[in-house]
Structure 1
């Protein structure tokens, strides 16, 4: 059953505007740290000792006032920093205007990135910085956007609460009880406003044409995606580490999947 466009275009536009806030207006600078430096001919053991005291993993290396590379604390031994410094790889360098969302995907291939301000490298971002509040806000925002889109689509696709056919009696009762509670508070809502993310998941996955429109290949893959998404949301909501059980690569893949489904949601107007 294709979704017929009614009065949803304005909603899609407003969601896209909200999404652009995360994609364009919050940049890598919001999580970057200033890059302290040493000199090419500094004693490596002395620099390592200084890095341990300051808890630095990375330190920029200057030559004639220009930052030409960096040293990694655990690699420093005897000799001078020149013996250990790494030149910057092009994949490690990003503009200060790089969006926070794009920054996440860059970390799929890098352990750290360096920020170019004009033609000078001034800041660094490591995996540890991905736990900072701007990243957490970004990820929670993306998950919330997906929920908003699913709510909109479910309302359009299933008139008169016909989505109930995809939920078991216990979930329907929970939704109706919550609806009654919120109505008693004089909230102007409808029953679908009380659907939880697990309900939206089941409705979408059990309606094959809708699932396919959203680019979800199978129910099994869809259930796994939503399970991981809910785990991530719970970690964010309870101030836990973003990837307490998964590697960062799995987290990046989950975010990429979320982005893909959001794009498909936006096509449904």
Structure 2
């Protein structure tokens, strides 16, 4: 079944009108609980321990250690990394951060809830109900569910870019002429191949992120054009690194 551009556009934009609900559901499913270290696996310390002793038995050099009381209840966080190079006889009690909302994050919170301010809140205790069930830190950003969340976020942006291009240029020939002849030829090659295999839907779906960037920035005056192009190029670079599992 071969579909023309207009019918393909209606199918892609209308038939998938619930795509944003799918996008939201995906992020709701990618929760902090998927990347957190379980509570029973955590290295902890107590308020009355000497900092030097805590550091001595922290061979993994964890930057943060949860602080627990004599009943093993979590009472705060000790920033071990801040004391590695110091010679001190102080106890954890004198410098740990008491438990507060800033240290807590729900296990069912989206991974993006942690990612968005992870540079400021580098370590959080993960709670479920009234119980601490784990810990999440900057090092956990390397875990696969984080990659999935970031890639989905960038995909959501690309979906928005696609919608905007369709609104501005209803006919494929209108946006195609904004691309280089080399990119036009590549997209046309992909379109013809898909059409021959009864897989053709919409020419715009064969464009890449860089194509959408170039199409959308063409109509902008300087310096807005250069600024947006640079920003989208950075996002594309992040997209490629996430897709190929680079750091």
- Shorter-normalised TM-score: what interval? 0.7 to 0.9
Q: 5+ unaligned residues in a row in structure 1: which ranges?
A: 1-5, 212-216, 242-269
Question: What is the rounded CA distance, in whole Å, between the counterparts of 2:119 and 2:95 in structure 1?
Answer: 25
What SS is found at the alignment partner of 1:234?
A: helix
Match status 1:119 vs 2:139: no
Match of 2:48 in 1: 41
1:10-50 per-residue CA deviation (whole Å, 9 max, x = no partner) reads 533x2212211233222211111134322222343232122
Greater C-alpha Rg:
2
Which residue of 111, 115, 135 maps to 2:146? 135
Shift of 1:124: 1.7
Contact conserved, 1:69 with 1:87, CA < 8 A, in 2? yes
Distance 1:79 1:156, change over 3 A: closer
CA RMSD of aligned residues (A): 2.7
Match of 1:176 in 2: 188
Question: What is the rounded CA distance, in whole Å, between the counterparts of 1:58 and 1:19 in structure 2?
Answer: 33
Match of 2:99 in 1: 88
Shift of 1:198: 1.0
Report which of the two has the higher share of helix.
1
Which residue of 209, 212, 215 maps to 1:203? 215
Match of 1:26 in 2: 30
Match of 1:62 in 2: 68
Distance 1:193 1:117, change over 3 A: closer
Match of 1:101 in 2: 112
Shift of 1:174: 1.9
Shift of 1:81: 2.8
Distance 1:80 1:227, change over 3 A: same
Shift of 1:200: 1.0
What SS is found at the alignment partner of 1:11?
A: coil
Question: What is the rounded CA distance, in whole Å, between the counterparts of 1:149 and 1:84 in structure 2?
Answer: 47
Give the TM-score normalised by the residue count of structure 1.
0.74
Contact conserved, 1:22 with 1:100, CA < 8 A, in 2? no
Contact conserved, 1:114 with 1:125, CA < 8 A, in 2? yes
What SS is found at the alignment partner of 1:78?
A: coil
What SS is found at the alignment partner of 1:166?
A: coil
Q: How many residues align?
A: 228
Question: What is the rounded CA distance, in whole Å, between the counterparts of 2:64 and 2:191 in structure 1?
Answer: 53
Question: What is the rounded CA distance, in whole Å, between the counterparts of 1:80 and 1:159 in structure 2?
Answer: 68
Contact conserved, 1:71 with 1:81, CA < 8 A, in 2? yes
Match of 2:5 in 1: none
Match status 1:194 vs 2:201: no
Give the TM-score normalised by the residue count of structure 2.
0.80
